[in-house]
Amino acid sequence: MNQFFDAHTHAHFSAFKDDYRDTIRRALDAGVGLVNVGTQKDTSRRAVEVANEFESDPVYAAIGLHPVHTAKSHHDENELGGGDAAKAFTSRGEEFDYEYYKELALDQKTVAIGECGLDYYHIEGDEAEMKHRQKEAFLGQIKLAHDVGKPLMIHCRDAFNDLIHILNANYKILNTIPGIIHFFTGTEDDAKKLLEMGFSFTFGGTVTYPPKAGMPDYATLVKYLPLDRILSETDAPYVAPVPYRGHRNEPVYVIETVKKLAEIKGISAGEMAEATVANAARIFRIQ
């Protein structure tokens, strides 16, 4: 049993192309289990490949289509690399291909469907059309989660009203443990509605940053949430926690986030570590 859990990371992205093995090994050596999360076809397949390369270790995959990749989006070299194929991909976007993702979803090391959801922060072009594309892809992934009996790994930015509306209409087809809202940035009221539907919440490096306008008041939010609905993540290579802020993030840094969550919640780091591991094990159905 691992001692910490990075429930949402991307140690399989281009940012780690030269050292993903060492990066993952550093995490495992420190007792950190992890889920590498795909964002489109290539990164989803890669997440499954890496999970299987670490066959007997607590390295898992989530597979899905991120809402920003349903449309033309700005190119992120950390994610897809700098090649022409990657650039061509981001200039056209992707439609959710159910059969392609189903094959990946059925892999025994795949523990969740996503990251999927809605992102209205990054919308460019025809707003109504782009929102429609995101919703269609999300509904396709809710169906897939239902069909394979695995939880959702949800990304949501500036779209909590629509997200809650869609989930309310659909969450009953999901398991009683329907999934995770990753990198939660909603309000306490949003959290309440999502808790009632059975969702849990992951927090990353931003909880270690000083409070900032436009971001949630994590001190209040984390205190409000029940301990059995809180998970830790890094979202590496992005948003490294203090004291690594500004550097490339990596899964082993999740330990800093767990310490901060414990401090906010007023419990020991050991208790928070234990809770976040137990919550991940229950949601992802892993040992």
Judged by beta carbon, residue 153 or residue 275, the one nearer Zn ion is: 153
Shortest Å, Cβ 8 to Zn ion: 6
Q: Which phi-psi region, left, alpha or beta, contains residue 13 (left: φ > 0; alpha: ψ -120 to 50)?
A: beta
Shortest Å, Cβ 44 to Zn ion: 12
Shortest Å, Cβ 66 to Zn ion: 8
Judged by beta carbon, residue 6 or residue 235, the one nearer Zn ion is: 235
Task: Specify whether the CB–CB gap between 184 and 203 falls below 8 A.
Answer: yes
Shortest Å, Cβ 167 to Zn ion: 19
**Which DSSP category does 59 fall into?**
E
Task: State in Å, rounded, how far the first CA of the chain is from the last one.
Answer: 7
CB atoms < 10 A from the CB of 186, how many?
A: 22
Nearest alpha carbon to residue 6 among 261, 223, 264: 261
Shortest Å, Cβ 249 to Zn ion: 11
Judged by beta carbon, residue 205 or residue 262, the one nearer Zn ion is: 205
Q: Which residue is nearest to Zn ion (CB)?
A: 235
Shortest Å, Cβ 155 to Zn ion: 7
Judged by beta carbon, residue 42 or residue 235, the one nearer Zn ion is: 235
Containing 265, the helix (H) or strand (E) segment is: helix 254-265
SS3 content of the chain, % helix, strand, coil (to 5): 50, 15, 35
Judged by beta carbon, residue 235 or residue 256, the one nearer Zn ion is: 235
**Which DSSP category does 253 fall into?**
G
- Residue 98 token pair: 């159910």
Judged by beta carbon, residue 208 or residue 249, the one nearer Zn ion is: 249
Site residues (CB under 5 A) for Zn ion? 235
